[in-house]
Amino acid sequence: MRVLSLFDGISCGMAALERAGIPVERYVAYEINEPSIKISKKNYPNIEHKGDVTNADFSEYIGFDLLIGGSPCQDLSGLNTVYRQKDKTGLQGEKSRLFYAYVDALNTVAPKYFLFENVASMKAEWRDEITRELGVEPVMINSALVSAQERKRLYWTNIPNVTQPSDKGIVLDDIILSAEKVPEKYWYRDKKYTLNGEDDRVIATLDGENIFSENKRVFNPKYKCGTLCGDGAGGNLQKKVYQNGAVRKLTPLEYERLQTLPDNYTEGAADSHRYTAVGNGWTVDVIAHIMGGLRDE
């Protein structure tokens, strides 16, 4: 199969195809983030990296079998307004308008199959516009079915037989490291917090006025984590867990597990780059589940 991947990130699409058992003859990726490209090259040195999608000549890929991509969602996500008081500009936003590069590729390449992913929290008018442009209704899948992370995403695709994955019942306790294996730098030894209730999903809340409410949440390991974001690179932005009577942030390895990536997939990059790249990526098991529809084609 010949694959064109736009906004490729760390090549979660390739990892999903591999996991689904789909042979890939050629995989061409458009991505401009250098740390993400390095992670991709470490795992898949045969991927062809082409750089900036706005400079692409999609006619080079006429006849490719599969087009995949999830254009940046920062202008569409409800989190932007709720936690940053930032105006959402929708599909005309600086980042999300890259969706139209995907439409251009779809119209030019005319692949047999396509898959486009984006956030489920977007306004109905933006969802409807994407549906009009792509010509198919989206399927909403929550990554919580296959991982320890709540992550509702919309998938527009013409891959046949897309169903909901079976619920694996995974919680944070199933994927986090034992406390003694977590390096000291990930623990919040000096930060104050308030315990809520031992049976609450958000078991504790960090104190402090200069922390967005989403980032104050400390998750109970008996439950699932909140949605990973691509801005979780520094400060108090990483997801947090309560373990052995103390609060800590999740490690990059645990982020990988929340996205069902192979362990140490992003190893070798700085922690900040790992958090961002994984948060911007796809849940591999969800994509592999969708790609499973290609096996009988």
Active site amino acids: 73
The burial of 279, by beta-carbon neighbours within 10 Å (0-12 exposed, 13-18 middle, 19 or more buried), is given as buried
For 83, residues 6+ apart whose C-beta sits below 8 A from its C-beta are 212, 213, 214, 215
Six-digit token string for 108: 């030019």
Q: Provide the residue type at 166 as one letter.
A: S
Cβ neighbours of residue 57 closer than 8 Å, sequence gap 6 or more: none
Q: Which residue has the tokens 């402090």?
A: 208
Yes or no: say if 133 and 118 are a contact pair by the CB < 8 Å rule: no
Torsion, Cα 127 68 149 144, to 10 degrees, reads 70
CA angle 69, 274, 154 (to 5 degrees): 30
- Are 233 and 240 contacting, i.e. CB atoms less than 8 angstroms apart? no
CB 177 within 8 A of CB 251: yes
Question: 239: closest CA among 253, 256, 225?
Answer: 225
